[in-house]
Structure formats: structure tokens, C-alpha cells
Structure 1
């Protein structure tokens, strides 16, 4: 009898919860899945899959287990995973800001700031996106191509010329960051660039980490590096502001371009925090993506001599954006250097 009473006491609450859930209208039902451990959730599993380059399989296994919609916890936040064409349409074609808004993981938001494009919505998103787009005017792109070419030539002489073997990815990251310093910041000094790159690399390492701000954690180190990067950018903003007052062109770099808009008394102006946070976003978004892409291009060309020869002779036609011009420039290194 005691066992029977104990089972009733345990099962009754569970049955009550199940019945209540069945009575909920469809819009209030919770997707299948588990939130896992507090704070950690499924973060470690996803990060491990990303490092092993098996993230796609990790997601496919989740779809097979729970279906196209499921709940999980990533980087300390409850998350809904959706899959399929209808989900893509909902996310990318939703015009109602009340239905879908931008929110990044807590780690990304705390490191990059809450006034970057990843966090803005509605009119704020449109205003800042328009300000960033003004940096890419056709007349400005012509000047940027020349700067990129200078960076590529310097890079070739310093790291590739005369070398029998090179490791491409670290060199491409070096090249990409130097181009970022030139186009975004207008910084030509190698010493100042080295100061930025040390803090920047520390900063991006913790962007996809569990947001536990304890000493000696990767997230804690990234937060400290983010604060230092923001301090460096604030100092740089003051320098660029003085240069603009002395008559420097507003299209010489991204910060100067945004500062010229910041100085305008209109609804399209951008704040200082928006300038800093979005410059940090572009640094993070453009660094690894560009360097990895160029590395894969070089790898494909090195393993396909016929395609390489066609590219070298200009017989293989392809379309390329102006800011990708430096990709072509590094291709001339292949005949005299081994890559790995």
C-alpha cells in the first residue's frame, strides 16, 4: 500500500503537467528536445562538432531525432532550432520586426557590443546599414583596390619571396588583418597594427564560448581584450576626428567615413558606440572568412594545375568583387612556392 501511495504521489504531478500541455493552444506548445545542463546545455557538443568540421552532421542528427523544430540551450540561452525551406522563409523574409528580431548569443553581444548590426532591428538597423554602405561607393572602391595591391605586394616581399615552402592560412590571416588595418582604420604603422592584432585575436577566441565570466576562462580573457580593443578604437576615433577637421578626405578609411556621418545633425547620423561596435563586427566577420576562403582557393589551384594555368593566363573567366582583388594578386606565388 505504501508503494502504491508513493507511485501516485510521483505520477500525479507528471500526468497533470502532460494534460495541461495537451490543452495548450498550438502557439504555446514547447518544441521537443532538451535544454540540457544549466548554462552549458548543448554548447559543448556543438563547439566540438564545429572544431571537428562535423557541425552539419550534428544538426542533421538533431533533425532525425526531434524533427525540423526542436528546443535546446546554447551559450546560456534557451534556443529554438528550425530546419527547412519554410524556416528559411520565416527568418529571412519576415518584414514584421515584432515577429523576428536580431539577437546574438550572450558571449557575442558582450564582446562585440549591443549597437552592432547583429543586435539592431527596424529603423536602427536600416540607418546603420546605410551608413556602412556609404563606405562602398564606386569612386571609393577604386582607391581601396590600390591600397589592397600595396598591401599584397609588401606581403609577398616579406613572407613569400624566396621561400620554398609556406604555411598559407596563418599568412593569409596576416594579410587580411593588414588590409583591414589599412581600409578600416587607415593605420600604416606596423607597430600599431601588431598592437591591434594581439588584442583582436584574443577577443575573437571567446566569441563562441560559454558566457561564464570567471578568471582564467576564455570568455573572461576575450572580454578583457574587447575592452582594450574598444579603448584603442576610441583613441583612433579622436585622431581621425582631428584629421577630418584639418581637411582629410572622409573616404580614406571606414572610421573617417562613419565619423563624417556622425558629425551630421540628421536622423541618419551614427553614434560613437555604433561606430566602434560595427567596426569590431566587421573586423571579426571579415578576418577569418576571407583568410580561409583565399586559403582554399590557393589549395584548389595548387592541386589543379590545368585550372591554375587557365587563371594565370586569364583564360578562365569569373566574376569578382573589387574588394577581392587581392585574391588574384596572391595567385602569382604558386609556381615558385610549395604550399601546405
Structure 2
């Protein structure tokens, strides 16, 4: 059957599927509409993301239908939830009811065995394996390595330049850091250049309508994923041989770590190692780069926040022996409290990940409505992050909100998830962000090149012209 005929057949069958799925419970379904077969509200939602009006799009649905509603998104009947109670329900729900399954596009591209897809014992096993690499006591060993990557990047891409595009450079830097720490691929290895292009193609298609035709983003992402998997399989063989010959350390990168614990208490297949290496790369590369780019924009626009950050970071720089090139330490990062509070407030006001998904494994009741098996659940962080009842004067940028973490209402700030689904890489993101900001503010000053520094989501935030800035080095050692 040709792709075109298959698509026509699919569009004809889908309405029947939806009717069968909802026949017994239609009177108790949440309010809302499924819209056109297969397409549903996908096009309008994707358009809202790309025009940076998605928050308004969601609020209009909540205004029209309430905090619980149904729609058809990315080819799947979807339950949209809103509010702090909804966040708590999703993050603490019995995993026999809700699974971490993502939309078809993400699942097909990133793999069926990544941590976002798993539940129960499988999820605990993979999460434990990832935490063996991402827990603080292990990450302490990588602060110096991240420091070295940042310094090399600054020398190569910032010093001697009068104007740069912040977002592409931050993506280059975070990818270099992740390539080194996840895959053990160092600068100069041709595989690093190949991987950065392939991962960008993967990201471009993970949040699209999953039509696998040659001209679609989804198809291009699938092809890129296939190539990345072949490269990672070769890495697994190389690192497995090195571990057997005792010529490599189990903690030198994520793949070596996962291979080493596979020989102990945790049994991870090659497929699981690859799926989770891909998902960690996407989570740790693009989202961190976006956070730091927003940080750069904020410091250019807010002199008071800039002064606070510079004072904190220069005090740490002055504590280092002059001219020795002394690296930052774990203890230095612990002193960067103001800097991380600003980062948290950026994550509150402009979270890189706009919305998240779960898969309904069996019928359940919520707020008096019956939610059928097979649906997906969607919620968006911005809906509670920008709620004045949870964060007074929510539109105001105020890092002091995070001076006392206990004062933040539970399940209201969900940039890193919540409950047993809290992101295992949140501590890594903190280290990466703090080290990069330290060298940016102690070595450079900058200003925005144009008044229009808006962004769209495609599906992650993208700045027009890459957020161009004029940079000027400070009179200090460059490391």
C-alpha cells in the first residue's frame, strides 16, 4: 500500500476508533471537542507554539471548558488538565493508571525504552541506573571537566569577537559538554560534529504530527535517530571492550557507567542504554542552552539583576589564585545562591519544556469525568507557574521567591517535574548553568543588538537571529 493510500485509510478509520473508544462513556467525558479526524487541534496548537501564543491558547480552553477538557492532539484523544491539584495528581498517580508514555512522534524517535516511557519496576531500574551517573557525589568529579570545556569554548568562540549569536553558541557549548560526559567523545573527534547535526534533526521532529512521509519533519527525525543509534551502538562496543581490558574508568562517561553497572545489579539492554542516552542528551543539551540564553537576555535587560550576579561571581573569581588557571570546585558552586535563584525564576517564567504528557493505561475517574484507556494526558508548567494565587504578582520577575524553597507551594513549580518523576538530571543542569554563567559575567560584558529579542517555540524556544549580542571582554585573565 502506498503512503498516500495508507494515510487516506487511516483518516477514514480513526473516527470509528474514537467512537468505539468513547461509546460507553461519552456521557461522562470531559467537555471539549475532538475536532477534525486525526488532525484535531494539533495544527492550531502547533501554530500557537510557533507564534509564542500557546499560553493564551491554553487559557482560552480553560476559560471555555474549565480545568478539565478533552481534545485531539497529535493524533491521539487527549485530556487537558490545569492547576496545582492536577499537577499533584499526575506526578503522584498510581503508575498502573498513568504511564509516562509520550506522544507517538517522541516515542518513535527517542525509543520505547527511555525513562519517559517506563513505569513501575522498569522505571525504577532505569532511573536508578541514570542516578548512578547523575547523583551529586558523582557529579562533583565532573565540575572540573565542565570548567575546562567552558574555557575552551570561550577562547574559541567569544574572545576576539565583537558580535555573536548567543543561542547557537550556547547549544554548541552544551552539546560539547554533553558529548564529553555522556558519550566520551572529545573535541576533534569527527563524530561530535556529525552528532550535533543529527540531534538537531531529531529535536526538529519530536513534536510533530507523526506522518512518516519523505517530506515531513517526522521522517527526517526518524532517519537521524537511526544514524545516531548506529553510532551509539559502535560506542557501546568500544567502551565495553575498554572496560573489559581495564583501560577505561566506569565513571568517565554515561555509557561506560551504564555498561559497568550492567555487570553488577542492574540489567540494561543495549537498546535501553541507547534510548536513555538519546533522551538525556536532548534533555541536557537543548534545555540547558535555552535556559542560559534566556539568562544572557535577562542580564542585558535588567541592570539590577546583572549587578547582583556580577558581584557574586567576581567574589568567587577573586578567591582563585591569580594566573594559576585554578578550576571551579563544587564548593564554589555552593556559593552561587543568587545566580541559581535567578535561573529558577527564569525557569518559572519561561520554562523550556512547555507541556508534558502521560498515557492512560486503564479507565479512571477524575473530577467526576471518566477518562478512557488509550487517551493521553497533557498539562503545561506555565499554567501554575504564572498563577497569581500560587506566585503572587506572577508576571513580576522576582528571584527572591526561591530564597526559601519550602515557601514555594508544592506541585506549583514543575520545571523539573515532581514526585517520583522529578528529573534525575536537575543537579547536572544546575552545575552546567552556574559554570557557564560564571565565565560569561567575569570575562565579558554585552548588550543586545536589536530591540526585537522575542522568541517562538518550535517546539522548544527559538530566538529570531539567534539572540545577537555585542560582546566586549573585561580586563581579566581568560583562563
> TM-score of the superposition, structure 2-length normalised?
0.62
2:334 pairs with 1:335 = no
1:332 shift after superposition: 2.7
d(CA) in 2 for partners of 1:283 and 1:39?
30
Tell me if structure 1 keeps the 8 A contact 2:309–2:338: no
Provide, for residues 2-55 of structure 1, a one-character-per-residue CA deviation record: whole Å limited to 9, x for no partner.
xxxxxxxxxxxxxxx9xxx8xx779x7222211122221111111111111211
Answer yes or no: is the 8 Å Cα contact 1:298–1:331 preserved in 2: no
Aligned ranges for residues 251-330 of structure 1 at < 5 Å?
A: 251-264=251-264, 266=265, 268-314=266-312, 317-318=337-338, 320=340, 321-324=430-433, 325-330=435-440
In 1: Cα distance, 2:337 partner to 2:112 partner: 42
Task: Encode CA deviations 1:128-155: one digit per residue, 9 max, x unaligned.
Answer: 0011000024443232111111111111
Does the 8 Å contact 2:292/2:437 carry over to 1? Answer: yes
Query: In structure 2, the residue corresponding to 1:73 is in which secondary structure?
Result: strand
Q: Where is the helix percentage greater, Structure 1 or Structure 2? A: 1
| Structure 2: distance between partners of 1:188 and 1:119 | 30
8 Å CA contact retained: 1:97, 1:122: yes
- Map of 1:101 onto structure 2: 99
Which string of whole-angstrom CA distances, capped at 9 and with x for unpartnered residues, describes residues 201-259 of structure 1? 11110000000111111111111111111111101111111111121110001111001
| Alpha carbons 1:241, 1:259 under 8 Å: kept | yes
State the alpha-carbon separation in 2 of the partners of residues 125 and 145 from structure 1. Answer: 28
Q: Which is bigger in relative contact order (C-alpha 8 A, separation at least 6)?
A: 2
The equivalent of 1:12 in structure 2 is none
Q: 1:322 to 1:288 in 2, by over 3 A?
A: closer
Aligned residues: 316
Give, in whole Å, the separation in 1 of the partners of 2:91 and 2:141: 33
- Say whether residues 1:39 and 2:4 are aligned partners: no
In 1: Cα distance, 2:137 partner to 2:96 partner = 38
Which one has the bigger strand percentage?
A: 2
CA contact (8 A) 1:165 1:337 kept: no
What aligned pairs does 1:1-340 form with structure 2 within 5 A after superposition?
29-94=28-93, 96-190=94-188, 191-247=190-246, 248-264=248-264, 266=265, 268-314=266-312, 317-318=337-338, 320=340, 321-324=430-433, 325-335=435-445, 340=469
Deviation at 1:74, TM superposition (A): 1.1
Counterpart position of 2:359: none
Q: Which has the larger radius of gyration?
A: 1
**Partner residue, 1:6:** none
Q: 1:305 to 1:32 in 2, by over 3 A?
A: closer
Counterpart Cα distance in 1 of 2:437 and 2:268: 32
CA distance in 1, matches of 2:104, 2:250: 34
**Secondary structure class of the residue paired with 2:210:** coil
Taking the aligned partners of 2:184 and 2:25, their CA distance within structure 1 comes to: 56
Q: SS at 1:279's partner residue?
A: helix
Measure, in 2, the Cα distance between the counterparts of 1:254 and 1:84. 36
Could you tell me whether the CA contact under 8 Å between 1:116 and 1:274 is conserved in 2? yes
- What is the CA–CA distance in structure 1 between the aligned matches of 2:33 and 2:136, rounded to whole Å? 50
SS in structure 2 at match of 1:188: coil
Please say if residues 166 and 337 of structure 1, whose CA atoms lie closer than 8 Å, have aligned partners that are also in contact: no
User: How far, CA to CA, are the matches of 2:64 and 2:174 in structure 1?
Assistant: 40
Q: Partners in 2 of 1:128 and 1:29 — Cα distance?
A: 37
What displacement does 1:167 show?
1.2
TM-score scaled by length of structure 1: 0.87
CA distance in 1, matches of 2:275, 2:41: 28
Match of 1:205, SS state, is helix
- Relative to structure 1, is the Cα distance of residues 137 and 93 closer, same or farther in structure 2, using a 3 angstrom cutoff? closer
Q: Unaligned stretches of 5+ in structure 1?
A: 1-16
- CA shift, 1:117, in A, is 0.9
**3-state SS of 2:77 partner:** strand
Task: Give the 3 Å change call, closer, same or farther, for CA 336–74 of structure 1 in structure 2.
Answer: closer
- Cα 1:206–1:317, aligned 2, differ >3 Å: closer, same or farther? closer
Contact 1:103/1:119 (CA < 8 Å) preserved in 2?
Answer: yes
**Structure 2 unpaired stretches of 5+:** 1-18, 316-335, 341-429, 449-467, 470-479
